[in-house]
Chain A
């Protein structure tokens, strides 16, 4: 039994924020941001939380799939910016869309989260324990940003993407490859609750804001892009030439350009939309996948690779037949 993508959807808040927005309160400008990152604009929430974005993406994906919410057996939501620790974002979406029989849980693998979530859901389908799964990647990154830090505030955006996976006799997800390695210098961090109780005073200096040490992240990311492509193709019988499109995590145009620079025959296969959305973490690959389907850039039988990398460090790639 295979798992196949039968619908996709995405949603971003109705509030596009251009680079110029940051000029009034940070020492930065449009030229600085766009020349270093490729980012021109992103979307920021005006109140919607992660489950709201995920719900709208899920409704669009369900619409495309032709399934009804009560036919879903399982909901997996990849996010590092949940509405709450409890209930999970997946459970909130379950209630919102009326997926009565689905079990639901969140997955945390930062910007690789959608790859992890797709892999987990596809395993449930392939082993026959569920038929239909909803997989969502989404974030409200803006609530985790330090808007006094120009090195991170300009990079991220809010948004969610979703796919419906269904059991199929024909190949859909052909192979997935996941990895993780110790971010020993804690170069990509978003802290959760510090230990604070009758025995422990709150630690000084703990924040709930994202912090990043750019160079360590650059080194890790550029190493792993090529590796994740090679590993997901290995032993499948497929090569670079068979792949129609590669949808990478939309982190930074320059980073991706450098990472694939040594692999010239792959360069024109990469789909990038970081200029319009910024880095939406677990949302990015899901949003881009839905966008390319909506634009009609893929047809049945096309082979694509989804590729994520980020905090943890984590990475993951999937080889998928549309």
Chain B
């Protein structure tokens, strides 16, 4: 799952997958703005068949946060 998340981030944010690890912060390290975040979450929701509540978005900042969030909903 970690690899798939990295692939999605690399694709949606047009960054090299090698730059992405669990500690990578989407906004600070990958320059994701608010629209990028909505887009990334939308793709993740479809890929992993989960629903991310808007109120939880603020807690999702790193790749590790995404992984933890999705695993907890599976």
Contact = CB atoms under 8 A, between A and B. Distances in A.
A218 B41 CA distance: 11
A213 B57 CA distance: 13
A258 B34 contact: no
B22 interface: no
Given A218-B42, A219-B42, A222-B42, A213 B54 contact: yes
A151 B40 CA distance: 20
A219 B53 CA distance: 12
A215 B33 contact: no
Nearest to A255: B35
A218 B33 CA distance: 14
Contacts of B35: 36, 218, 252, 254-255, 258
A217 to B, nearest CB: 10
Contacts, number: 25
Contacts of B41: 215
A134 to B, nearest CB: 37
B54 A35 contact: no
Interface in B13-42: 33-35, 38-39, 41-42
A54 B34 CA distance: 35
Given A35-B33, A36-B33, A218 B38 contact: yes
A215 B54 contact: yes
Contacts of B57: 215
A216 interface: yes
Interface in A196-225: 213-216, 218-219, 222
Interface string A19-36: 000000000000000011
Nearest to A151: B34
A252 B35 CA distance: 10
Nearest to A35: B33
B33 A214 contact: no
A29 to B, nearest CB: 13
Given A218-B42, A219-B42, A36 B54 contact: no
Contact of B54 (A216, A222, A252, A255): A216
Given A215-B38, A258-B42, 14 more contacts: A36-B33, A36-B34, A36-B35, A213-B54, A214-B34, A215-B57, A216-B54, A218-B35, A218-B42, A219-B38, A219-B42, A252-B35, A255-B35, A258-B35
Interface of B: 33-35, 38-39, 41-42, 54, 57
Q: Which 8 pairs of residues, A with B, have the shortest CB-CB distance?
A: A254-B35, A218-B38, A215-B54, A258-B39, A36-B35, A215-B38, A36-B33, A219-B42
5 contacts: A214-B34, A218-B42, A254-B35, A255-B35, A258-B35
